[in-house]
Structure 1
Amino acid sequence: MDPTTSSTKKKPAANRKKLDTAVDDDDKEAPLSSCGCFFCAAREPDARVRRAALSAFFRAMPRSDDSSHVLVASFVWNLAMSDPDDPELPSAGALRCMALLIARALDDDAGPSWLRRHQNVYIPYYAAHVIGSYTIRVPSLAALAVEEGAVAPLLGLMRGSMTWVEQRVAVRALGHLASYDATYPAVARHADELVPLAMHIASACLGRVYAEFLAVSPPQRERYHRDLLTRGLGGAETENRKAEEWASQLQCWSLYLLSCFAFRDRRTHGLVCRDAEFLNDLCRMWGGVVNADSPAGAGLMRLLCRSRVGRCSIVACPRVVDSLCSLSRSSDDWQYMGIDCLLLLLDDPVTRLRAANIAAPCLVDLAELRCLGPRKNVGDAIARSLLQQQQQQLDNYDDTSPQNLSQEAELAIKNLWVLKIERKEREEAMSLDELGKRKALAALKKQEGNEKFYTGDLEGAMASYTEALELCPLKRRKDRVVLYSNRAQCRLLLREPDAAVSDATRALSLPRQANGHGKSLWRRSQAYDMKGMAKESLMDCLMFANRWWFEEKKGSGAKLPYYVVRMINKQMGAAWLFADAALRSKVVNKDGDVDGDGGGGG
């Protein structure tokens, strides 16, 4: 998946300057009346003549020096972005030309002086972007890029030889090349360097972009960065917004490159998992509202969980497993990836026990999920994995062994057994009359709980809701949604956020559409806010706002409640892509004062 956002297609420049280029003396295919201008060659109606002229130009361009070369690079970039499947320019030598231009920029002797001439500093960015755009969908063009020597120059840019702007498009292009069977080996030859480098970029890029761009006052920013970000349109606000988008893409594309390695060669899992701090950070790397289509850290985490090395490394870091639990109990689009990871850990006999001790209380809340996106019977899969753990525990129980389940995990699994096995069997054996009586008693207990709630007896209300849940037939899912949600509200008011998250999650797991109960979303958002979990609170709040706006209040013209807007604003600031970077960037000056950041928040 490429998280590239669509760019505006630019028309060819009106002033098509003649380029001072030379054609090889031994070029047999050169057109008889060629003036050496790229734009003249590009509009030549005769395909054979056009191809020969373009080939001659692309061969000469890296060895010549002309002020118009930046226009050519920009124009080729526009063509590549608008029609990346068109092989005409790549087959005429455009990819080799772009690779040579990058190599020229990276040359230790000639590069710095060449970049300072004309507007050549823009060319490496356009050149790497051209390679990435032409290799995005067509394997044959990717193979051609490798044949033309694109890997080494892109690797040079990815090392950070220039700036983060060029690094962004270089890692994008390498990710495309690593995604095809035919071209992966050419990238994999550099795995020992690329894997740690991509990990470093994913971890450090947000801080780098913040320090080198957002925290700098607009007049002091690199001029060509500002031009590339905004295409000459918009001021500092537009620059900040685009810089945030590009930084997110740089992180997502670095993770995508790592995912290509992890998917194709499990031996690279050891390289990734060697850094425990990177694993701790991985679950917090997310596309967010900037790149919502990218699975980011969650996607790589799931790939790592498919190998024994990855699973053992992950369970050795309790914070990582805890992060997966938080993702599983969220309304994030990648919630199912968190569940998949936890199930992979539980299904491995080597990692099962350590994973269950952390994850069991969380997963029990999800045991009644029916569908989650395209996945069916998610809750049943969770129950099978956890009850398998219980059976293994019973078969190998030793009350002196430190390898037994923790009391919390053991209690959670026992409650799951009662819910999914014992109670289900008991209710299936009941007559319709008896089930009807239990339903009526549950309704009375619910009413009793409501009355206690409105008189301020929160603990009494919670006890009544608990009794109602024990009486209410399992098939009465809608009734149980309300009971769990009401109990979550009591726990919120009693300042018990962990228990409130648990009850709200159970309520959100019961509807046919997961996360489809508005009040429970709002209550879990508040509970996550109490816990300081800004991302999870934001996702629930946005989901609640979406349901409120498009379903409950559709056509009424009512505005979103102020308390929801306030929560979104609060969590957008706390979950802002650069929030951690901004916090780390604060330094104490010589007088002992704290210098703040110069950028804007979400």
Structure 2
Amino acid sequence: MPKELTGTDISCFFCNLEEPDSLVRRNEIKNYFRNMHLVDDQELILVLSGLWRIAMTESEEGELPSLGLFECMASLIDKGIKDRDWLHRNQNIYIPYYAAHIVGSYTMNNVDLAVKAVEAGTIPPLLDLLRGNMSWVEQRVAVRALGHLASYERTFEAVSTYEEEVVKVAMHLASTCVEVVYNMFVGVKDKNKRLKYHCDLLTRGAGLGDMETENRKAEEWASQLQCWCLNLLNCFAIKGMSLDLICKPSFLQELCEMWGQIANGTSPSGIGLIRLLCHSKVGRRCIAETENVIENLCNLSRSSDDWQYMGIDCLLLLLKDPDTEYKVMEASISCLIDLIEVKNLGGRANVGEIIKRTLCDLKLRNSKAIMSPEVQRALEELRNIIIKRRNEKAIPDEKKDEQRVLVALIKQQGNHCFSIGRIQEAINKYTEAIELCPLRLKKERIVLYSNRAQGYLLQREPDAAISDTTRALCLSNPPNSHLKSLWRRSQAYDMKGLARESLMDCIMFINGGIRSKDKKQLKVPHEAVRMISKQMDSTWLFKAAQSKMISKYADTTSMSLFDVDRIYLEKLPNLKISPRNKGCMTAGLPTISEEPLLNWKEKRNAEGAEGSKESKIWFQY
């Protein structure tokens, strides 16, 4: 080996970074990058991890990329894929991961560096990682880097050269990555059978984490991998490319289940791509023909999810299109009627008025069309609300006071019926009061809707309860802040088996109770804690993968889960680190600190079943 590539000179690479003479520094670094792929020393990973730290903290600094950094990273990834003997020596198994991560970190917010990365030939080796030529860990950083390159006009064309393959692989990864991570890692219960370098990366260095730490990080990374795949698909969809592929009914249904999860609270994930597709003719047509997607959009629109407004946007876009309005009208119109009094939502003003205008236009366009009884009833209710709002302006103040007193009296009658168990009579009284109550008396109407919803819950009518609680929550200020309605809608969604919607409302309920000055408003804390526990278990990212593994093996054969672990581990024969390298130094691995994973399980276990004031950090918005 040439002298300049010995282990001693590798260590001096960091000295070169501190060289005050810029000409000497640049020449030394350029020479090192040119020959780095020839290095065969276990300290090579220290250089890669140091470069990764620089890329994460000084990504706007373009000196290293100008000296051949990207060409060097491309060569290292290519060598790791093609030379398996080299890959399994020393600590080289980590190198393709860090090399791809460095490319992604430098190109994250800098279009000029993205151009340099493309010119350096990074796309082909990144595609090799994306295809799965190593493992899901490398796929995660490869799709991240490719997503950044595809997000700029100046570099998108280079990625789009591989359009069909990139889109197909990204769709497949988004659909399968959660199951893959579970089968290949989380579901492997014997820690000794997990890939060692995966454990090291996930726990920020060898020996620093237990299986719970590894599993939490794997959950975070699986969620990121899925979200970054969708981000890559967004880059094509926004340009109207590969829509026929992306809009396959099976994939559209899967998008509804791609939540983003706790690890990616700022990512709209599946709903973000669905909304983007709704801006295209092809996307609207395919979505309108997929019944499950419309149902999920309706559920999202009547929830306290951060992306509620996106669900509303999608429904309105579908109703404004003459080619899709008939297909979604019956499923969505009742849902939208419940939302016409909401004000600001998701940073949008007058959302309810926009909904009202859209429905009025729909009614005008279809004034002579034959509609189903459900649609007719909904439009008639809309008409009555508009007329009532207009007529109330002419009512004198004395008459309004009389109405308020009468409404209060009827509500008391309803409360009395409720207290003695005459639920249907109570519902009838609340209905009468709602019809008489002036629209401007929002607080009174919130209580009436919420009380009637409680009656519907006791009668096991969750759809009616969801409708009434949604109307109450739209009237609250800010929207989705009336605690009793949140709790009642959470229960209604639980009756329907909609765990995600139930979880969101229950979290909002507990958080609102914690923030409230009037602690008496929090009536059912223990029940709410149990509800959160139940729904978090139901919405766990790996729940479906776990159930599938158990049903496939444990229930149909005499296999134990230990055998299942072994089977899945054996699917990665090329990535097993040679026994002679078990003693390799790993202390040089850097700390991986990207999007933080919220450790809600640990918090819940520490607090116990009673919960505490810190419950509000179980799930961040």
Q: Which residue of 2 aligns with 1:268?
A: 242
Q: Deviations over 1:48-80 (max 9, x none)?
A: 211111111000001332222111111111111
Q: CA deviation at 1:43?
A: 2.2
Query: Could you tell me which residue of structure 2 aligns to residue 508 of structure 1?
Result: 473
Q: Is this contact kept in 1: 2:340–2:351, CA < 8 A?
A: yes
Cα deviation code 1:193-223 (max 9, x no counterpart):
1111111111100000000000102211000
Once the two structures are superposed, residues 315-371 of structure 1 have per-residue CA deviations (whole angstroms, 9 ceiling, x without a partner) of: 010111111111111111011111001110011111111111111111111111111
Residues 47/19 of structure 1: CA separation in 2 closer, same or farther (3 Å cut): farther
- Say how many residue pairs are matched: 561
Deviations 1:270-302 (A, max 9, x none): 2211x2111011111111222111110111111
Contact 2:10 2:44 in 1 (8 A): no
Q: TM-score normalised to the size of structure 2?
A: 0.87
Q: Deviations over 1:115-169 (max 9, x none)?
A: 1111111000000000000011111111111111111111110111100000000
Q: Does 1:332 align with 2:305?
A: yes
Q: Secondary structure at the match of 1:350?
A: coil
Contact 1:302 1:340 in 2 (8 A): yes
Of 126-135 and 65-74, deviating more is 65-74
CA distance in 2, matches of 1:170, 1:58: 21
Cα distance change of structure 1 residues 439 and 553 upon mapping to structure 2, 3 Å threshold:
closer
Aligned equivalents of 1:580, 1:591: Cα separation in 2: 17
Instruction: Write the distance in 2 (CA, Å) between the matches of 1:565 and 1:19.
Output: 65
For 1:388, the equivalent position in structure 2 comes to 361
Letter in 2 for 1:543: M
For structure 2, list consecutive stretches of 5 or more residues without a partner in the other structure.
Answer: 566-598, 602-621
User: C-alpha separation between the residues in 2 aligned to 1:335 and 1:594?
Assistant: 44
Q: Does 1:178 align with 2:186?
A: no
Equivalence for 1:299:
272
Contact 1:202 1:252 in 2 (8 A): yes
Matches of 1:149 and 1:34, distance apart in 2:
27
CA distance in 1, matches of 2:530, 2:360: 42
Q: Which amino acid aligns with 2:343?
A: R
- One-letter amino acid of the counterpart of residue 561, structure 1: P
Structure 1 residues 19 and 336 mapped into 2: Cα distance closer, same or farther (>3 Å)?
farther
In the TM superposition, 1:135-214 aligns within 5 A as: 135-214=107-186
Q: Identify the residue that residue 526 of structure 2 maps to in structure 1.
A: 562
1:130 maps to what in 2? 102
Q: Would the aligned equivalents of 2:10 and 2:43 in 1 still touch at CA under 8 Å? A: no
Give the Cα–Cα distance (whole angstroms) in 1 for the partners of residues 39 and 120 of structure 2: 19
Confirm or deny that 1:104 pairs with 2:70: no
What is the CA–CA distance in structure 2 between the aligned matches of 1:89 and 1:164, rounded to whole Å?
28
Query: How far 1:511 sits from its partner (Å)?
Result: 1.9
1:521-548 deviation line (CA, Å, top 9, x unaligned):
0110011111111111011111111111
**3-state SS of the aligned residue for 2:183?**
helix
Q: Which of the residues 457, 473, 476 maps onto 1:492? A: 457
Q: Which residue in the other structure is 1:454 paired with?
A: 419
1:356–1:405 contact (8 Å) kept in structure 2: no
Seen in structure 2, the aligned counterparts of structure 1 residues 438 and 590 have a Cα distance that, compared at 3 Å, is closer
Cα gap change, 1:590 to 1:295, in 2 (>3 Å): closer
- The separation in 2 between residues aligned to 1:20 and 1:322, in whole angstroms, is 67
Q: Output the amino acid matched with 1:516.
A: S
Give the superposition deviation at 1:438: 1.4
Are residues 130 and 510 of structure 1, via their aligned partners in 2, closer, same or farther at CA, if it must alter by over 3 Å?
same
Sequence identity percentage: 50
1:86-485 maps to which residues of 2 (within 5 A)? 86-107=61-82, 111-217=83-189, 218-232=191-205, 233-263=208-238, 265-273=239-247, 275-395=248-368, 397=369, 404-419=370-385, 421-485=386-450
- What is residue 40 of structure 1 aligned with on the other side? 15
Q: 1:176-202 deviations in whole A, cap 9, x for unaligned?
A: 111111111111111111111111111
Task: Tell me the SS of whatever aligns to 2:257.
Answer: coil
1:553 Cα deviation (Å)? 5.5
- Give the counterpart of 1:542 among 503, 507, 519: 507
Structure 1 residue aligned with 2:573: none
Moved more, 335-344 or 46-55: 46-55
Conserved? CA contact 1:485–1:520, under 8 Å: yes
The one-letter code of the counterpart of 1:493 is L
How far does residue 406 in structure 1 lie from its aligned partner after superposition? 2.4
- 1:534–1:571: 8 Å Cα contact kept in structure 2? yes
Which piece of structure 1 moves more, 360-369 or 381-390? Answer: 381-390
Summarize the Cα distance change of 1:559–1:60 in structure 2 as closer, same or farther, 3 Å threshold. farther
What's the CA shift for 1:601?
11
Kindly indicate which of the two structures has a greater share of residues assigned to helix.
Answer: 2
SS in 2 for 1:183: helix
Shift of 1:225: 0.1
Looking at structure 1, the residues matched to 524 and 461 of structure 2 have their Cα atoms a distance apart, in angstroms, of 27
2:543 counterpart residue number: 579
Matching residue's letter, 1:417: R
SS of corresponding position for 1:371: coil
Q: Distance in 2 between matches of 1:266 and 1:346?
A: 21
**C-alpha distance in 2 between matches for 1:459 and 1:19:** 89
How far off its partner does 1:21 sit? 4.1
What secondary structure does 2:342 align onto? coil
Deviations 1:248-274 (A, max 9, x none): 0000000011111111x113222211x
- Name stretches of at least 5 consecutive residues in structure 1 with no aligned partner: 1-17, 24-32, 398-403
Q: In angstroms, what is the RMSD of aligned CA positions?
A: 2.3
Q: Distance in 1 between matches of 2:227 and 2:146?
A: 13
Q: CA deviation at 1:507?
A: 0.5
- Residue 387 of structure 1, CA deviation: 2.1
Distance 1:44 1:553, change over 3 A: farther
In 1, Cα distance between the equivalents of 2:16 and 2:518?
59
CA-to-aligned-CA distance 1:70-102 (integer Å, 9 cap, x gap) = 111111111111222121221121111111111
Quick one: which amino acid aligns to residue 293 of structure 1? T
CA distance in 2, matches of 1:92, 1:340: 47
Shift of 1:588: 3.5
Task: Report deviation, 1:596.
Answer: 5.7
Contact 1:19–1:37 under 8 Å retained in 2: no
Which of 1 and 2 has higher RCO (CA within 8 Å, sep 6+)?
Answer: 2
Decide whether aligned partners of structure 1 residues 140 and 370 sit closer, same or farther in structure 2, where only a CA change above 3 A counts.
Answer: same
SS of corresponding position for 2:41:
coil
Instruction: Return the letter of the residue paired with 1:583.
Output: S
CA gap of 1:189–1:486, structure 2 versus 1, over 3 A, is: same
1:332 counterpart letter in structure 2: D
